[in-house]
Amino acid sequence: MAGITVATLLTGVATASAQNILLALFGGLGAPPPPVPDANFTARDRQQLANPPYRQAWIAPAYRRQIVHYHRKEAPGTILVDTDARYVYYVLPEGKAIRYGAIVGEDAQAWSGVATVGRKEEWPGWTPTENEKRRLGPLPNYVEGGAANPMGSRALYLYSGGQDTLYRIHGTNQPGWIGHAVSSGCIRLTNEDVIDLYSRVKNGAIVVVLGPKGGARSTSASAL
């Protein structure tokens, strides 16, 4: 869930110096298009995302939300994560899926398997794990929910055998890393995309996270 370095992670805590680092990292990407208004936004979503404490990044067209033909056999309502390709799919009827660009776990932090959505939360708080503290240095014990929080606008908590796996699908305050493997294992979408996914997913939904070389083989994308 955390970013590449302590400095990039601390952008989520919204210090001025960390924001300057993020601007330096993504300053060469050019001006991004303005976010598209989303019918699923709440009043809090609009307030938090109107002027977020991070720079809106340019997202490559391949990683923008779109409907694609889907050739696997998962049932509608299933979430599939293709970590190799950096995509999350929400399976629709009639051989289609909504595809979202994602940030996935680094090789040493990646997780794969089958889980269920055990709970959902809007603008979740963040409690860094002990592993994150060891890997990334001094971190706060807790960060309140909001646009500066690395958890972003929504979180889907993945459970297996009735137990929290500690892996989540959630938003991000570092949208410039969409399409990369830089997190501590959790799957991150843009805040706008995770709001869309959250609105579709029910508690108890199946989540399939493919390991290396398990690509989803989805083709013929058409814009959503």
Report the alpha-carbon distance of residue 151 to residue 125 in Å, rounded: 7
Rg for the chain, CA atoms, rounded: 16
What is the structure's pLDDT at 217? 56
State residue 211's pLDDT score: 80
In a domain, 151, yes or no: yes
Q: Is residue 214 part of a domain?
A: yes
What local confidence, expressed as pLDDT, does residue 120 receive? 98
CA distances from 139 to 15, 18, 53, 93, 167 (A): 13, 14, 19, 43, 19
Kindly list the catalytic residues. Answer: 170, 186
Q: What is the pLDDT of residue 224?
A: 54
**CA–CA distance, 105 with 35 (Å, rounded to integer):** 25
Sign of CA dihedral 130, 146, 124, 104: negative
Chunked mean pLDDT (size 10), the chain, 224 residues: 42 38 38 60 95 90 97 97 95 97 78 94 91 81 92 97 93 95 88 97 96 62 53
Give me the helices (H) in the chain, please: 6-9, 16-26, 43-50, 130-136, 191-200
CA distance 3 to 11: 9
Report the domain count for the chain: 1
1 within some domain: no
Domain membership of residue 31 as a residue range:
6-223
d(CA 168, CA 147): 17
Burial 156-176 (b: 16+ CB within 10 A, else e): bbbbeeeeebebbbbbbbbbb
| CA 50 remoteness from chain centre | 19
Residues 28, 216: Cα–Cα separation, whole Å: 32
| In-domain check, residue 81 | yes
| Residue 117, in any domain of the structure | yes
| CATH code of the domain in which 214 resides | 2.40.440.10
Cβ atoms of 63 and 175 closer than 8 Å: no
Q: Is residue 203 domain-resident?
A: yes
Residues with Cβ within 8 Å of 209's Cβ and at least 6 positions away in sequence, in order, are: 80, 81, 83, 111, 112, 113, 114, 115, 167, 187
Count Cβ neighbours within 10 Å for each residue of 97-119 and write b for 16 or more, e otherwise. Answer: bbbbbbbbbeeebbbeeebbbbe
